[in-house]
Amino acid sequence: MNNARQQIFNRLKAAQPAPLENGSAERAQHFHPNDFSREEKLTHFQTALESNHAQVLPIDRQQLIATLRQLCAERGWQHAAIGTGGQWHHDFRQGLETIQITEYQQTIEQWKDDLFTTVDVGLTDARAGIADTGALVLWPDNHQPRTLSLVPPCHVAVIRQSTLFNSFSELMIAQQWHQQMPTNVVLVSGPSKTADIQQTLAYGAHGPRELIVIVVVDE
C-alpha cells in the first residue's frame, strides 16, 4: 500500500501543468489571492471567525498566562486537556494551574470516559491561520492529537499573528506542503454546528460548541 501511494505522489510531482486555454488567464484573475497587510490579515481573520460565533482575543506575548487564568475564572472550567508538548505547553500548564489538567498521554480507551464527561476545555497550538476565510490550520500529532480540538465542549487555540496567511493556497506554497504533506490536517472556522434537525441551527452537536482563538500579536 505504501509503495502504491508513493508511486501516485511521484507521478503527481512529475506532472507538468497544462497550458492555459484561451480566456483562462482572465478567469484565473478572479482567484488571485488577496494581498493584505499584516494588520489587515488579523482584521479579516478576526472578523471572519467572529461571524462564525468564535471568540478572538489578540494579546501580547506576556499576557498569555494571565489570559488563560482569566478564562478559567470567567467560564468556571474545572478540568482541561492538553497535549504532551507544543509551542505553548509551558504556558498552558501555568495558565491552568488552578484547575485539573490531564495531558493526553494515554490511549483513548483508557480515559475516554473523563474526556467525554468531565473535561471542560481542550487546548492546542495552531500551525497557521487563513485570513480571507477565517480558518485555523491544525496539524495534529502524537504530542497534540486531534481529539483535543474535536471532543471537549470548548476548544482554545493559540496562534501567532506572524503565521496568518492571505489564503489557503498561499499557505501551502509558503510552508511547502508538497515537500512535507501532513498525514492529517484539521481546518477550523468556528464552533461545531448543524441544522440537520428541523433546520434549526444548533452548536456543539458534533464537536466543541465554543471556540476561543488567542492571537499572540507580533512584537
The reported pLDDT for the residue numbered 219 is 67
| Interatomic CA distance for residues 190 and 219, integer angstroms | 27
The reported pLDDT for the residue numbered 10 is 77
pLDDT band at 34 (very low <50, low <70, confident <90, very high): confident
As a whole number, mean pLDDT of residues 9-36 equals 60
Beta bridge partners of 187: 137
The per-residue pLDDT for range 132-180, each reduced to its tens digit, is 999 999 999 989 999 999 999 999 999 999 999 999 999 999 988 888 8
pLDDT at 11 over 80: no
The per-residue pLDDT for range 192-203, each reduced to its tens digit, is 656 566 655 555
Three state DSSP letters for 71-83: HHHHHCCCEEEEC
Give me the domains of the chain, ranges plus CATH numbers: 35-192+210-216 (3.40.50.10420)
Global pTM value? 0.81
Amino acid (1-letter code) at residue 162: S
Q: Which residue has the higher pLDDT, 110 or 65?
A: 65
CB 36, CB 131: distance < 8 Å = yes
The per-residue pLDDT for range 60-107, each reduced to its tens digit, is 999 999 999 999 999 999 999 999 999 999 999 999 999 999 999 888
The reported pLDDT for the residue numbered 192 is 60
pLDDT at 13 over 80: no
